[in-house]
Amino acid sequence: MDLSGSVRQTPRTPPQLRTPEKLPGPRPDSNFADLHTSLTAYLKPEDLQHIESAFRVAQAAHEGQFRKSGEPYITHPVAVAKTLAQLHLDPQAIMAALLHDTVEDTTTTAQEITRIFGKSVGDLVDGVSKLDRIEFESQAHAQAENFRKMLLAMARDVRVILIKLADRLHNMRTLSSMAREKQKRIARETLEIYAPIANRLGLNEIYHELQELGFRYMYPTRYRVLAKAVKAARGNRREVVDRILKTISQRLEQFKVRATVTGREKHLYSIYRKMLEKHLSFTEVLDIYGFRIIVDDVASCYIALGALHTLYKPIPGKFKDYIAIPKANGYQTLQSTLMGPFGTPLEMQIRTHDMHKVAEAGVASHWLYKASDASLNDVQQKTHQWLQSLLEIQTASTDSTEFLEHIKVDLFPDAVYVFTPRGDIKSLPKGATVIDFAYAVHTDIGNRCTAARINTEPAPLRTELRNGDRVEIITAPEATPQPSWLAFVATGKARSHIRHYLRTMHFDESVALGERLLNQALRALKVDIKDIRRADWERMLRAGGGKSKRDVLADIGLGTRLSYVVARHLLTASDTAPRDEKLKGAIVIRGSEGMAVQFAQCCRPIPGDPIIGLINKDQGLLIHTHDCRAIRQYRSDPDRWVDVEWDPETDKLFDVTIRLLVHNRRGVLAKVAATIGDADSNIDHVSMDDKDGSPYTTINFTVQVRDRAHLAKVMRDLRELPDVVRIARLKV
């Protein structure tokens, strides 16, 4: 699908497609000559004839169509095919790339494509083409449905997503002709979906270019300022980089390692994300250059690493061995960050030539190098496993929007690697818990798990896993998934299967519970449930995207919808229900609402704090403090916000974290703990900074308090201890 727009005239009629050999040849403005040159390097003459036939059909179908930039429309599918030719994809994929917009944008049909060029090409074109015109509830829902179809087609044939990524890449390269709002929407979609998919499939060059272009159009001012700063710094640092390259090459020669050494500038989006995540200015980002060492074999990788460590000191905690444990997309490299000259951190990547091929082309290396070695087979196997997991998530998801949310979770690049009792490695996203691991092993194990052992020690199901953990799951025949698990699972597979089980096995119970909660909410607004008519429900369902009354009630019972919010929407939709000023009032938070109301871990609000509510699917209503930094990104989405206030009679204890700087003396921890207990507070968790030989140490306590007044008393009593130097409430 071409997102850059076109000015269309009525295309030629389909009968001309029956004899592609009689259609006119390539015009000079189509760029087909460049594509033909690329294809000649690896395809047979008979393959080229089929591809030229596909081109003639596409050229005829798009006759009279132009892009917003003024170029003939045919230049777009040719550019898409050329990107795939650089990956040496097979003739069927190249033909599908040339024809991928004909079904959607012209009178050509999928049946004609299949009849002329075969089922394989027809299936690929159909997989890439967007959905037929269907009435959707919203633009977001339509877009999610498009992604759903695309990803499921990809699960059947990975070439579908390779064509789609090449299509998106050319659209991003030519996005300047679009309106600003459309640029932002397409750029956001690229950063959130397409770039992560490219990364997940190991398409490194496409991944980075999509990120750079997405950044450029999403935040044009930030992009220009950062590009200017990097350009200004480039001249100052070139001499340093050249000197480091020469020094590295000399050291590797001393260790008799034959290697190709290159220096590379980090991508702007990578620098921007580092500045954003670590709150740094550009001048504080020192490691904007990295170095790549490509050697002949695996043994040379480790010898080269040792040589570099004798040259520059490694920074602790900044070494990753992706050769012994490859990433899920097949990426293999030794990565080490060293402290270079002038205190500049240097990022080193050491890999073999074969590893470099996989790192650059990922799953496409199968076509690009026609390789049959174990490393490339491993890439294909891991990709196949991930694609199959998409089908599992699809089965458990109820709608396309939910499916897309689950997929987004699994596209995050950061991962932890944990071991099964048999020594098999499971790759999970950062933040994954025991439950996620159980579902990664098998759905039945996830559904039946009751406890776990991590490194032979008993551990709660919500325990977050770390690299190298050995996890054993304990199951029971009568065990079932619990709604509370949704609050801490991290993978799309686990979340979708839990929700699917809760829906199918406990649907009636959820409906009954949801009805009781809704009745309670309506009574609080002085409205009888009998006053709500069927027409009111229908109006609310049309406005809010619900499928049926029972589905809405089940969602309330499961905690994915708030009874208070549904009650207000019903009364807003009602013509007969009394108008009450309470409709405009805030939702009262008591702290005992269960799964429907969650307290944000980033700011840990307690009674007395000014608070605001954020509607968050799967978590119900998420309560934040007004000044929480985590909510800034949602300020532009007012529909998700709900006014909330504390119930003055709350009797629940709330977690809050305090940080103390204390004298590093014997018994200080016991004194602090006793003081907290004397203040009628309970300690839920405690951690201390590593000892560094200084006379002071930092202790973090998670304590339970009733409200801000109670917290103030705890902190006041602690401040009176002679050993306490400083105390503060901690917010992430």
Q: Residue 523 carries which side chain, given as an amino acid letter?
A: R
**Segment among 55-64, 150-159, 459-468 with least mean pLDDT:** 150-159
Give long-range contacts, CB 8 A cutoff, 24+ apart: 684-689.
684/655
Domain-ending residue, one of 200, 217, 234: 217
Q: Say yes or no to pLDDT of 211 above 90.
A: yes
Q: Which of 629, 651, 673 is the last residue of a domain?
A: 651
Which among 104, 137, 399, 472 is annotated as catalytic? 104
Between 436-440, 450-454, 541-545, the lowest mean confidence (pLDDT) is in: 541-545
Q: Determine whether 609 is an active site residue.
A: no
Residues 281-292 have pLDDT tens digits of 777 776 667 899
**Are 448 and 394 in a shared domain?**
yes
Predicted pLDDT at 108: 75
Sign of CA dihedral 40, 46, 51, 55: positive
Which whole number is the average pLDDT over 64-87?
88
Q: How many structural domains is the chain composed of?
A: 5
Give the Cα separation of 99 and 124 in Å (integer): 10
Do residue 274 and residue 363 come from a single domain? yes
Catalytic (active site) residue 720: no
pLDDT digits (tens, 9 = 90+) for 294-311: 999 999 999 999 999 999
Residues 56 and 168 in one domain: yes
Greater confidence (408 vs 162) lies with 162
| Rounded mean pLDDT, 426-434 | 84
pLDDT, residue 12, reads 40
Find the CATH number of the domain harbouring 316: 3.30.460.10
Phi-psi region of 294 (alpha: psi -120 to 50; beta: other; left: phi over 0): beta
Confidence band for 137, pLDDT divided at 50, 70 and 90: very low
pLDDT for the residue numbered 488? 84
**Per-residue pLDDT tens digits for 512-526:** 767 777 887 787 777
Residue 225 has pLDDT above 80, yes or no: yes
pLDDT of 136 > 50? The answer is: no
Of 421, 561, 439, 455, give the one whose Cα is nearest residue 488: 439
The larger pLDDT score, comparing residue 543 to residue 380, is at 543
The confidence band for 426, taking pLDDT boundaries of 50, 70 and 90, is confident
pLDDT computed for residue 71 by the predictor: 86
User: Residues 10-50: pLDDT tens digits?
Assistant: 344 433 444 555 565 566 556 788 888 889 888 888 889 99
The predicted pLDDT at position 705 comes to: 92
Average pLDDT of the chain, as a whole number: 78
pLDDT band at 204 (very low <50, low <70, confident <90, very high): confident
Question: Which pLDDT does position 14 carry in this prediction?
Answer: 39
240 shares a domain with 330? yes
Of 55-64, 241-250, 282-291, where does mean pLDDT reach its minimum?
Answer: 282-291
- At residue 649 the predicted structure's pLDDT band, cuts being 50, 70 and 90, is confident
Q: Between 394 and 63, where is the model more confident?
A: 63
Q: 41 or 732, which is more confident?
A: 41
Higher-confidence residue: 19 or 170? 170
* Residue 182 belongs to domain with CATH number: 1.10.3210.10
From residue 714, give the alpha-carbon distance in Å to each of 160, 355, 466: 60, 57, 33
Q: What distance in Å separates the CA atoms of residue 550 and residue 302, rounded to the nearest whole number?
A: 61
pLDDT at 398 over 70: no
Comparison of pLDDT for 176 and 506, the residue scoring more: 176
Let me know if residue 526 belongs to a domain. no
Which token pair is 709? 């007044």
Instruction: Write phi, then psi, for 361 (nearest 5 degrees).
Output: -115, -15
Q: Any idea which of 409-413, 418-422, 481-485 has the lowest mean pLDDT?
A: 409-413
Highest mean pLDDT range out of 21-25, 371-375, 725-729? 725-729
Most confident of 202-206, 211-215, 571-575: 211-215
Is residue 460 a part of any domain in this protein? yes
426 falls within a domain:
yes
Could you tell me if 715 and 630 lie in one domain? no
Residue 623 shares a structural domain with residue 680: no
Shared domain for 338 and 213, answered yes or no, is no
More confident position, 338 or 30: 338
Q: What angle do CA 296, 299, 300 make, to 5 degrees?
A: 50
Tokens 């179809």 identify what position?
149
Helix axes 492-505, 400-410, angle to 10 degrees: 150
Q: Are residues 490 and 355 in the same domain?
A: no
Q: What is the mean pLDDT of residues 128-143?
A: 50
- Let me know whether 698 and 646 are in one domain: no
Answer whether residue 39 is part of any domain.
yes
pLDDT for the residue 132:
38
Average pLDDT over residues 343-358: 85
CB 242 within 8 A of CB 301: no
Contact at 8 Å (CB) between 37 and 83? Answer: no
pLDDT score recorded for residue 276:
82
Between residues 457 and 15, which one has the greater pLDDT? 457
Same domain, 262 and 275: yes
Average the pLDDT over each of 76-80, 150-154, 196-200, 629-633 and give the range with the smallest value: 150-154
Q: Which of 141-155, 243-257, 487-501 has the lowest mean pLDDT?
A: 141-155
CB neighbours (10 Å) of residue 531? 14
pLDDT value of residue 369: 46
| Of 479 and 153, the one with more pLDDT | 479
The pLDDT assigned to 134 comes to 35
Residue 38 lies in a domain: yes
Among the options 71, 105, 354, 402, which is catalytic?
A: 105
Quick: pLDDT tens for 588-615. 777 765 555 678 888 889 999 999 887 6
Q: Does the residue 76 lie in any domain?
A: yes
Decide which of 632, 651, 670 is a domain's last residue: 651
% the chain with pLDDT above 70: 75
pLDDT at 235: 61
Looking up residue 659, the CATH number of its domain turns out to be 3.30.70.260
CA 589/CA 576 separation, integer angstroms: 28
What mean pLDDT do residues 627-634 have? 80
Range of the domain at 635: 586-651
Kindly state whether residues 61 and 181 are assigned to the same domain.
yes
Q: Which residue has the higher pLDDT, 323 or 18?
A: 323
* CATH at residue 445: 3.10.20.30
Residues 91 and 213 in one domain: yes
- Top mean pLDDT of 109-113, 360-364, 439-443, 581-585 is at 439-443
End-to-end CA distance of the chain: 42
528 belongs to a structural domain:
no
Work out the pLDDT band at 98, boundaries 50, 70, 90.
Answer: very high
In a domain, 558, yes or no: no
Residue 11: predicted pLDDT? 40
